[in-house]
Amino acid sequence: MNHGPDDPSPEGLDSDELALRDLLQRTVQEIEPRDGTLDHLRKAVPARRARKRHAVVGMAAAALFVGTAIPALLHVSNSTGLLGADPSIAGHGSQAQGGAGQGKETEGGESTSGGSSGKAEDKGSGETKQDQKGKTAGTTTGASSGADPSASTAASAPVCTAEQLGSPTGTTDVPDSAGTVYGTFRITNVSSSGCTVTGPGTVVLTAQGAADSSKISTVRHVSGDAAASLPDPSLEVAQLLVQPGSAYDVKFAWVPSETCPTTDPGTETPTPDPTATEDTSTTDGSSTGGDTGTSTQLVTEDSTTDGSVLVTNTAEGGAPTVTATVSDACAGVVYWTGLLTAS
């Protein structure tokens, strides 16, 4: 079959495409590869395949790293609050999370102190039920007593022993207009190293003279009670770091409920008159005997019976013990505080 100029060839190409193919074939007919081209291809092709494999392996390793690192970071971030549970490592916890922009605050007292965590003070072995009822929840956890006491310093020294505490003093003020007597117990760290006091100890009352032991009692000081001039319970601390030579205070107040009873003798008490002597006179040689006289002393005014109350504080470790005397006291209540930094 004859084909015209525009008829397609058996391969399906028209005349223009056939002419272009012939032109291209003649153009490259004499082109030959350079020497070493085959060796280059033998080396280049495997190298390119190896680079592709390395790239794929690197991408897989990166994806695996990201997949394991993100859960670990989330776990560390969520556990930040645990670091703040111990005031001694609160600073480290804040520093570790600071770079990640974490704004969490650490717990503790006090702001790093002991702050204020609301921890109730430890119970003393000699405390009564009334003592326990008087405790408040506003007690700070840690403080320091020294040259520059700071409530933000957590008590970290060992617990004070009886040998480390001494030089106790007990003082009382003059009664105020309502008859309330305020006093202070102060105990000093007489050792050469700091130690921690973990409670105010115990307070015991002893009736003297006309004081009625059934009408005297002790109560822990709380806000709004009758001892208005005692320090606010929020100033008390559950434990106190006492440096050598420094002291801590426990304050108290005697609030009378009754005055001491009075006595009215109302009776005549005959007493011999030491000035009476026998009167003897002689008249005309005779003598007469004189009478021995006695006189009577009367008590005309009422007098107040003598009564007092001894207020005794024993330190938490069982020693030392210090006593303050409240005079003209027969019935009433002693309100007393927890640990206070020495004022």
pLDDT digits (tens, 9 = 90+) for 292-329: 443 333 433 455 578 999 999 999 988 899 999 999 99
> 10 Å Cβ neighbour count for 45?
10
Banded model confidence at residue 87, pLDDT cuts 50, 70, 90: very low
Distance (Å, whole) CA 140 – CA 43: 78
Q: How high is the mean pLDDT of the chain?
A: 74
- Asked if residue 151 lies in contact with residue 237, where contact means CB atoms within 8 angstroms, the answer is yes
pTM: 0.48
Length of the chain in terms of residues written? 343
Percent of the chain with pLDDT strictly greater than 70: 62
Q: Give the residue among 125, 165, 120, 161 at the shortest CA–CA distance from 140.
A: 120
| Distance of alpha carbon 166 from alpha carbon 101, whole angstroms | 50
CA–CA distance, 250 with 202 (Å, rounded to integer): 10
Residue 251 near residue 201 (C-beta atoms within 8 A): no
Helix, strand, coil % over all residues of the chain, rounded to 5: 25, 30, 45
Per-residue confidence (pLDDT) for residue 96, from 0 to 100: 41
Give the C-alpha separation, 234 to 263, whole Å.
45
| Least reliable range by pLDDT among 12-16, 184-188, 323-327 | 12-16
CA–CA distances in Å: residue 246 to residues 58, 139, 235, 330: 66, 21, 18, 35
- Quick one: which H or E segment has residue 283? strand 281-283
* Residues ≥6 apart with Cβ < 8 Å to 2: none
> Is residue 165 within 8 Å of 236, Cβ to Cβ?
no
Q: Tokens for 3, please give them.
A: 């084909």
